[in-house]
Amino acid sequence: MAADFSISQVAASLGLTMFVIGYGIGPMVLSPISELPQLGRAPVYMVTLLIFVALQMPTALAHNIGSIVVLRFLAGIFGSPPLATGGASLADVWAPEDRAVVIGLWGLAAMAGPAVGPILGGFVAQSENWR
């Protein structure tokens, strides 16, 4: 990406930085919305998931770093609700005696995804290209 856009490695990492910032800001707005009894969590999860998925194609096809930065920030915002309120959703579904194991497994998956994803992405980027 740095070579394609003629930018530094630091500037190339700005997309990841903005995703994490969006991931931190998103729950401040979207999590309280999911707690409204009239709305619930499922509609918030579904709408934000659709927006998150829709943002992936323009990000992959972006022709400049500015577009990638904005799109990654928005993807971070709309990708955050499951991480912020996922434990509460599991607590709604599982019995109290099963919650410790279920939330432990969910937490493991939540931590393993961001750790394993870049490793797999690195291999894919080496064999193909970053897009």
* Number of Cβ within a 10 Å radius of residue 73: 22
- The torsion angles phi and psi of 95, rounded to 5 degrees, stand at -70, 150
pLDDT tens for 26-78 read 999 898 898 888 988 899 999 999 999 999 999 989 989 999 999 999 999 99
Which alpha helices (DSSP H) does the chain contain, by range? 2-5, 9-12, 14-34, 41-61, 65-79, 81-93, 96-127
100 DSSP assignment: H
Cα 40 to Cα 32: distance, rounded to the nearest angstrom: 10
76 DSSP assignment: H
pLDDT tens for 74-126 read 999 999 998 888 888 899 899 999 999 999 999 888 788 778 888 888 888 78
